[in-house]
A and B are shown apart, each in its own frame.
Chain A
Amino acid sequence: MSAPLLDIRDLRVSVENKEILSGLSLEVRAGEVHAIMGPNGAGKSTLAQTLAGRDGYEVTGGSVLLDGEDLLDMNPEERACKGLFLGFQYPVEIPGVSNMYLLRSAVNAQRKAAGKEEINAAAFLKQARAEAARLKLKPELLKRGVNEGFSGGEKKRNEILQLAVLKPRLAVLDETDSGLDIDALKIVASGIRALRDGRRAFVLITHYERILNLVSPDRVHVLAGGSIARSGGAELVGELEASGYEPFLREAA
């Protein structure tokens, strides 16, 4: 079996001196979709933020390898250029910076890191417009400031647009499905499915079964009490719907 794309071992993370993750291990191979579920406060977002390299998430133990390289040793932009994408739970607004301009800057920053030339502006625009159309994102949102005045659903679809254009190796989507109506959810799910191939992997952080029904994960994990309390196949989703997280909380304690 090949080496995992993402290899998290015994990860310990504190926020403001409080331990949130206490020995989390997870292996994600190329081509796989993993779902991470769990009660509020279990550390799901902490995991996502830590992987992306956010300040204030202090790693006190363990290791994380991306494609065999030490992820924790890299700054956020290096992680992004290595192919790690974080779909934000609450995408921030950046007034005055056009949505397309940020995305093109991101594409070019990542190309530069890979030793490639800048993307042709016309080709980029064509690609971005096509992806936006597939995601049913209004064309005017491409010109507007990043997330400026977007609805909640538009912000989430905009994250998927960035995902589709940047084509990362590993996408960590932090509750991208939250707050979406069923139509928007279907669009987001199809965006994810379209990118699914043998090279890429996804980690979906979610509270809800419904997105998993649309994406069908290879593995499902329950994060409780700072570590993976249980792992299984897609059937675990149904079990969780029936039992809730209560049994896992007890187990973790």
Chain B
Amino acid sequence: MSRTAERNPEVRELLERKYRHGFVTDIESDTLPPGLDEDVIRVISARKDEPEFLLDWRLRAYRYWREAKEPSWAKLNIPPIDYQAISYYSAPGPAKDAPKSLDEVDPRLLETYDKLGIPLHERARLAGVAVDAVFDSVSVATTFKSRLAEAGVIFCPFSEAVREHPDLVRKYLGSVVPYRDNYFAALNSAVFTDGSFVYIPKNTKCPMELSTYFRINEQNTGQFERTLIVADEGSEVSYLEGCTAPMRDENQLHAAVVELVALKDARIKYSTVQNWYPGDEEGRGGIYNFVTKRGDCRGDNSAISWTQVEAGSAITWKYPSCILRGDNSTGEFYSVAVTNNFQQADTGTKMIHIGRNTSSNILSKGISAGKAQNTYRGLVKVFPRAEGARNFTQCDSLLIGHDCGAHTFPHMDIAHPHAVVEHEATTSRISEDQLFYCRQRGLDEEDAVNLIVNGFCKQVFNMLPMEFAVEAQALMNVSLEGAIG
């Protein structure tokens, strides 16, 4: 019997009961005790009625992860993480009674979404957005399914996709981010509990923007989301991911994986507003956010565009990337990363030019305040056969105050003699002149800072869908509260 099972009677009991029934239900939540070994993975997989291939894949990922080392190349100061102190599964309410419609959703849960400014009913209806809300690790509400179904679009919790569309999952899962890709991707592959799955059929434009809100609720619950979006030939989709997390004292680990596959002539636009709890003003608490996001422009003339607004988390380690495999494919990365107090962000992108006439565009805006450290790290790689490859990179850093840092590490690896690769970078301090000018017109200091910062970020905000752009601005203002004082 494994160590975890020895230590945890609950796990032992579950194993002995062959995972048929619910976990020990602690009030309304259904949480696996802390610890990670093969038995825990078997429990997760069984709990989700997964097919054999997926369990095998998880176990291979786990074995790889067990031997792997945490990466240390980022400009981040990461406190040691005790992976055995983390619980790897948590579901709101006994999973057997998962609600099938909004009416069945716990009203208190809906109330929480309201507090986060996500009135599910109105939002979904008014904005025409289907919302696949994730509470802790299990999706609890999905709307607008029928309209999407009419178009042949599949948009569902990952675990449902595993049950309903196992062939698609099997074909594409891990095909962009293999479990061996990196330490955190391996961990995610071993223990992911849920996430979203999207499939857009051939020559279909998704009739609405797809949106998922994530949040962490349980204490000490790691979040291991897995998202897979497949845009079949000639299709198009815009996907929005937004995160908020409530105040929390203990550090929480978040290691998500997002895979995008764009086949011939397909377009995927993926937008994120990330606002996990950043820790307090003294640097206590906050989310550790280790995310692997990658898109594969697998077919000719395909396009993948990432837009991110990274405002939260104590530590952000994230490089949404594009593999430009198809000829004439394009990759875009638009990013605003704001760090305040003791936050650390090491984020950027990789643009891998393999196909001919591939082009990529990178626009990164980093804002650093308080004692925060903000790093842009990018790679532009052009393969020998990538004739006609083009890249333009612009990295701008804005410093607020004198105790923060901005760093830029642009790597270029160009193997084609005629590739056109351009890089521009600026670093500036928010100027006293600008602040005073705004204040002389009547704006208080905080509004003046917000105005200037939002101006700095505007090119990126313009890339966001409208309602997200508004949220993003509000978020910047909240994130920089007290940055000047």
Q: Which of A88-115 contact B (CB under 8 A)?
A: 88, 91-92, 94-97, 101-103, 105-107, 109-110, 113
Q: Nearest chain-B residue to A91 (Cβ)?
A: B437
Q: Please, how many angstroms separate the alpha-carbon atoms of A103 and B433 in the complex?
A: 17
Interface residues of A in 33-85 (CB under 8 A from B): 52-55, 75-77, 79-81, 85
Q: 26 A–B contact pairs at CB < 8 A?
A: A54-B436, A75-B439, A76-B436, A77-B439, A77-B445, A79-B440, A80-B440, A80-B441, A80-B442, A81-B442, A85-B440, A86-B440, A88-B437, A92-B431, A92-B433, A94-B437, A94-B451, A96-B455, A97-B454, A97-B455, A102-B438, A102-B441, A102-B451, A103-B441, A105-B443, A109-B443
- Among residues of A, the one whose C-beta sits closest to the C-beta of B461 is A96
B40 lies within 8 A of chain A by Cβ: no
B444/A105 in contact, CB under 8 A:
no
Kindly identify, within residues 101 to 129 of chain B, every residue whose CB is under 8 Å from any CB belonging to chain A.
none
Does B284 make an interface contact (CB < 8 A)? no
Query: Is A145 in the interface zone, CB < 8 Å from B?
Result: yes
B477 contacts the other chain (Cβ, under 8 Å)?
A: no
Least CB separation from B437: chain A residue: A92
**Interface on A for B, CB 8 Å cutoff?**
52-55, 75-77, 79-81, 85-86, 88, 91-92, 94-97, 101-103, 105-107, 109-110, 113, 145-146, 162, 166
Which residue of A76, A91, A145 contacts B455 across the interface (Cβ within 8 Å)?
A145
* Chain B residues, CB < 8 A from A79: 440
Chain B residues whose C-beta falls within 8 Å of the C-beta of A75 in the assembled complex: 439
Residues of A within 8 A of B452 (CB): 94, 97
Q: Within 8 Å of chain A (Cβ to Cβ): is B18? A: no
| A53 neighbours in B (Cβ, 8 Å) | 439-440
- A97→B444 CA distance, assembly (Å): 16
Question: Given A55-B432, A92-B433, A96-B458, are A77 and B451 also a contact pair (CB < 8 Å)?
Answer: no
In the assembled complex, B459 has its CB within 8 A of some CB on chain A = yes
Chain B positions within 8 Å of A76 at CB level:
436, 439-440
The 10 A-B residue pairs with the shortest CB-CB distance, nearest first, are A96-B455, A97-B455, A106-B441, A109-B442, A96-B458, A76-B439, A80-B442, A92-B433, A110-B442, A77-B439
Looking at the complex, which one of B434, B439, B457 makes contact with A94 (CB distance below 8 Å)? B434
Q: B34 → chain A, closest Cβ, in Å?
A: 46
B376 → A minimal CB distance (Å): 18
B454 and A96 form a contact (CB under 8 A): yes
Q: Given the complex of chains A and B, what is the CA–CA distance between A162 and B443 in angstroms?
A: 14
Assess whether A109 is in contact with B459, with CB atoms less than 8 Å apart.
no
In the complex, which residues of chain A have a beta carbon less than 8 angstroms from the beta carbon of B241? none
Q: Residues of B within 8 Å of A, CB-based: how many? A: 23
List chain A residues, Cβ under 8 A from B433. Answer: 92
**A80-B439, A94-B455, A96-B454 known; A105 vs B447 contact (CB < 8 Å):** yes
The answer to whether residues A96 and B457 also contact, given A77-B443, A105-B443 and a CB cut-off of 8 A, is yes
Give the complex CA separation of A102 and B455 in angstroms: 10
B456 at the interface (CB under 8 A from A): yes
- B residues at A contact (CB < 8 Å): 431-434, 436-445, 447, 451-452, 454-459
Question: In the assembled complex, which residues on chain A have CB atoms less than 8 Å from the CB atom of B455?
Answer: 94-97, 145-146
Q: Which of A55, A95, A166 contacts B441 (CB 8 A)?
A: A166
Q: Inside 8 A of A88's CB, which chain B residues have their CB?
A: 437, 440
Tell me the interface secondary structure of chain B in the complex. helix
**With A76-B436, A102-B451, A105-B451 given, is the CB distance from A96 to B443 under 8 Å?**
no
The docked-state distance in angstroms from the alpha carbon of A79 to that of B455 is: 25
**How long is the Cα–Cα vector from A146 to B451 in the complex, in angstroms?**
11
A77 CA / B441 CA spacing, docked (Å): 7
Q: Do B442 and A106 have beta carbons less than 8 Å apart?
A: yes
Q: In chain A, what residue has the closest Cβ to B444?
A: A77
**Bound complex: CA A94 to CA B458 (Å):** 12
Residue from B442, B445, B456, B458 with most neighbouring chain A CB atoms (10 Å): B442
Report Cα–Cα, A53/B440, bound state, in Å.
8
Q: How far is the CA of A107 from the CA of B438 in the complex (A)?
A: 11
- Cα distance A54–B432 when bound, in Å? 10
Shortest distance between the CB of A54 and any CB in chain B (Å): 6
Picked from B442, B445, B454, B458, the residue with its CB within 8 Å of the CB of A113 is B442
B426 to chain A, nearest CB (A): 10
Q: Does the CB pair A96–B456 fall under 8 Å?
A: yes
Residues of B within 8 A of A86 (CB): 440
Q: Across the interface, name the chain B residue whose C-beta is closest to A84.
A: B440
Q: Most chain-A Cβ atoms within 10 A of its Cβ — which of B438, B444, B457? A: B438
Once bound together, how far apart are the Cα atoms of A110 and B459, in whole Å? Answer: 28
Q: How far is the CB of B105 from chain A (nearest CB, A)?
A: 37
- Bound-state CA distance A97–B458 (Å) is 8
In angstroms, Cα B447 to Cα A55, docked, is 18
CB A77 to nearest CB in B, in angstroms, measures 5
A20 to B433, CA, bound (A): 21
Q: Given A53-B440, A92-B437, A94-B434, 20 other A-B contacts at CB below 8 A? A: A52-B436, A55-B432, A77-B442, A77-B444, A79-B440, A81-B442, A88-B440, A91-B437, A92-B431, A94-B451, A96-B454, A96-B455, A96-B458, A97-B454, A102-B438, A105-B443, A105-B447, A109-B442, A109-B447, A146-B455
CB distance from A84 to the nearest CB of B (A): 8
* Interchain nearest-CB distance for B373 vs A (Å): 24
Cα–Cα, bound, A72→B441 (Å): 17
User: Is A52 a contact of B440 with CB atoms below 8 Å?
Assistant: yes
Contacts of B443 in A (CB 8 A): 77, 105-106, 109
Q: How far is the CA of A146 from the CA of B445 in the complex (A)?
A: 17
- The docked-state distance in angstroms from the alpha carbon of A166 to that of B452 is 20
CB distance from B222 to the nearest CB of A (A): 38
